[in-house]
């Protein structure tokens, strides 16, 4: 079967961690209330999408009758499950998540157990015409807590994972690929680190085809990477990319001379320093070295103490894809990174990863930008998906609606 070079609207989905539902008892109701509404707003009969399923829910879904009821819910809702988000393990959105989102790391047996449960579930849920599913996961762990012993343990468990995925492929005919998601301040945060890891991995794991990369556009924009060049380098190094998460970083350009204006910008930016998520910040110094802060409040304090030293901040805050400016002209999105990504897809017709919008932070946007009703949020998500369709259409990458598979994307 020849592989199409483009996407249909059905194949452009979004990740459900924007609708956090850790309890299995509420998951189907959430799918019917949220995914179904977005699908209908887009005028689609069905839609490929990713789900975030907590470890607790994933364990419950190993029971056959419970799983069957879940699969029937997907079918009723017109949700074609082709991807999962296996990054957050437990609670998401509830309380201060911060660096806990990276736990359990890949050296912890709980991460392996959770991942295998997700893999079995996705293999059962893949549509009949789709032979491959992808699951994004933690980039090994949080770098500040990492050690050589943890690296050794993580690699041992990843080999157990890929061995099990190869066996699952033999048993079911469904190929499940785990995609490590580069993220600022994690063990894998840069293209250089990803290339080094996968070159090592491909030389040591006989089942390495079941491990790939998840490329999150926001994350690489925060790292000051040119996404076209990053994707090209990964391609040249033969690093497989199973999923691209379409996301938009927050960029702040501080006025170098106007002290009062700079204070006003920093005060406005502080509205984004919320308490739930970790918002890593990067900047470049005068020698073009990359500077880092673990979270936005620390970066804001440093900028206030050192006027003019950091002209541009890149912030890990997933803002809506269509947002170009937010509240002030000095606050913008990283849409140039999204354009670089779409341009790369247009120039490489044999590269066809899962595309998935991941704006999970609608609920923690500053009050002036935050949707005031659930319907308004769902309309915002639908608008993001329409925006992606338009970017693809402009590059001749969107075709009329058909049912196609991701079977040979890697």
What is the reported pLDDT for 100?
86
- Residue 324: Cβ within 10 Å count: 9
pLDDT for residue 308: 81
3-state SS string over the chain?
CCCCCCECHHHCEEEHHHCCCCCHHHHHHHHHHHHHHHHHHCCCCCEEEEEECCHHHHHHCCCHHHHHHHHHHHHHHCEEEEEEECCCCCCCCCCCCHHHHHCCCCCCHHHHHHHHHHHHHHHHHCCCCCCEEEEEECCCCEHHHCCHHHHHHHHHHHHHHHHHHHHHHHHHCCEEEEEEECCCCECCCCHHHHHHHHHHHHCCCCCHHHEEEEEEHHHHHHCCCCHHHHHHHHHHCCCCEEEEEECEEEEEECCCCCHHHHHHHHHHHHHHCCCCCCCCEEEECCCCCEEEECCHHHHHHHHHHCCCCCCEEEEEEEECCCCCEECEEEEEECHHHHHHHHHHHHHCCCCCCEEEECCCCHHHCCCCCCCCCHHHHHHHHHHHHHHHHHHHHHCCCECCCCCCCCCCCC
408: confidence class by pLDDT, cuts 50, 70, 90: very low
Q: So what's the pLDDT on residue 311?
A: 92
Predicted pLDDT at 1: 38
Mean pLDDT across the stretch 160-186?
98
Between CA 55 and CA 72 the distance in angstroms is 21
Query: Which tokens hold the place of 178?
Result: 């785990």
Residue 87 lies inside a defined structural domain of this protein? yes
Q: What is the CATH number of the domain that holds 100?
A: 3.20.20.150
> pLDDT grade, residue 325 (50/70/90)?
confident
Contacts for 318 with CB less than 8 Å, ≥ 6 apart: 218, 247, 248, 249, 358, 359, 360, 361
pLDDT of residue 153: 98
Residue 84 in any domain: the answer is: yes
Question: Which of 87, 85, 100 is CA-nearest to residue 14?
Answer: 85
pLDDT at 93: 47
pLDDT tens string 15-50: 998 998 889 999 999 999 999 999 999 999 999 988
The pLDDT-based confidence of 405 (bands split at 50, 70, 90) is very low
- Count of domains observed in the chain: 1
Each residue's pLDDT tens digit, 355-397: 999 999 999 999 999 999 999 999 999 999 999 999 999 999 9
Residue 136 pLDDT exceeds 50: yes
CA dihedral over 149, 151, 153, 159, signed as positive or negative: negative
pLDDT average, residue stretch 178-183: 98
State pLDDT tens for residues 220-261: 999 999 999 999 999 999 999 999 999 999 999 999 888 999
Q: Distance between CA 218 and CA 403 in Å, rounded?
A: 29
pLDDT of residue 286: 80
Determine the structural domain holding residue 173 and report its residue range: 9-248+333-394
Task: Identify whether 349 is part of a domain.
Answer: yes
Query: Whole-prediction pTM value?
Result: 0.95
Of the chain, the end-to-end C-alpha distance in Å amounts to 14
């Amino acid at each position: 079967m020849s592989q199409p070079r483009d996407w249909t609207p059905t194949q452009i989905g979004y990740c459900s961690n924007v609708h956090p539902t850790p309890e299995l008892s509420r998951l189907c109701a959430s799918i019917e209330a949220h995914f179904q509404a977005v699908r209908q707003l887009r005028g689609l009969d069905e839609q490929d999408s990713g789900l975030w399923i907590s470890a607790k829910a994933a364990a419950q879904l190993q029971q056959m009758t419970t799983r069957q009821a879940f699969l029937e819910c997907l079918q009723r809702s017109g949700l074609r499950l082709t991807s999962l988000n296996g990054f957050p393990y437990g609670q998401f959105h509830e309380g201060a998540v911060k660096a806990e989102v990276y736990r359990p790391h890949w050296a912890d047996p709980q991460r392996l157990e959770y991942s295998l449960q997700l893999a079995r579930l996705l293999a059962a849920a893949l549509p009949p015409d789709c032979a491959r599913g992808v699951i994004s996961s933690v980039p090994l762990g949080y770098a500040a807590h990492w050690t050589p012993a943890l690296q050794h343990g993580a690699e041992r468990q990843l080999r157990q994972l890929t061995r099990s995925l190869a066996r699952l492929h033999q048993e079911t005919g469904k190929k499940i690929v785990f995609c490590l998601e580069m993220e600022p301040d994690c063990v894998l945060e840069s293209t250089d680190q990803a290339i080094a890891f996968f070159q090592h991995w491909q030389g040591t794991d006989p089942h390495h085809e079941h491990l790939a990369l998840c490329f999150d556009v926001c994350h690489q924009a925060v790292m000051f990477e040119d996404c076209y060049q990053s994707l090209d380098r990964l391609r040249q190094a033969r690093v497989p990319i199973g999923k691209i998460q379409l996301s938009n970083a927050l960029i702040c350009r501080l006025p170098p001379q106007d002290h009062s204006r700079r204070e006003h910008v920093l005060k406005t930016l502080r509205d984004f320093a919320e308490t739930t998520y970790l918002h890593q910040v990067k900047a470049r110094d005068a020698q073009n070295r990359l500077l880092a802060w673990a979270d936005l409040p620390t970066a804001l304090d440093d900028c206030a103490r050192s006027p003019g030293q950091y002209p541009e901040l890149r912030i890990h805050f997933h803002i809506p894809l269509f947002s170009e400016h937010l509240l002030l002209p000095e606050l913008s999105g990283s849409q140039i990174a999204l354009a670089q990504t779409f341009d790369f897809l247009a120039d490489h017709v044999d590269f066809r990863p899962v595309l998935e919008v991941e704006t999970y932070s609608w609920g923690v946007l500053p009050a002036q930008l935050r949707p005031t009703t659930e319907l308004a949020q769902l309309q915002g998500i639908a608008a993001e998906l329409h925006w992606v369709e338009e970017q693809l259409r402009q590059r001749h990458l969107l075709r009329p609606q058909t049912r196609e598979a991701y079977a040979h994307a890697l």
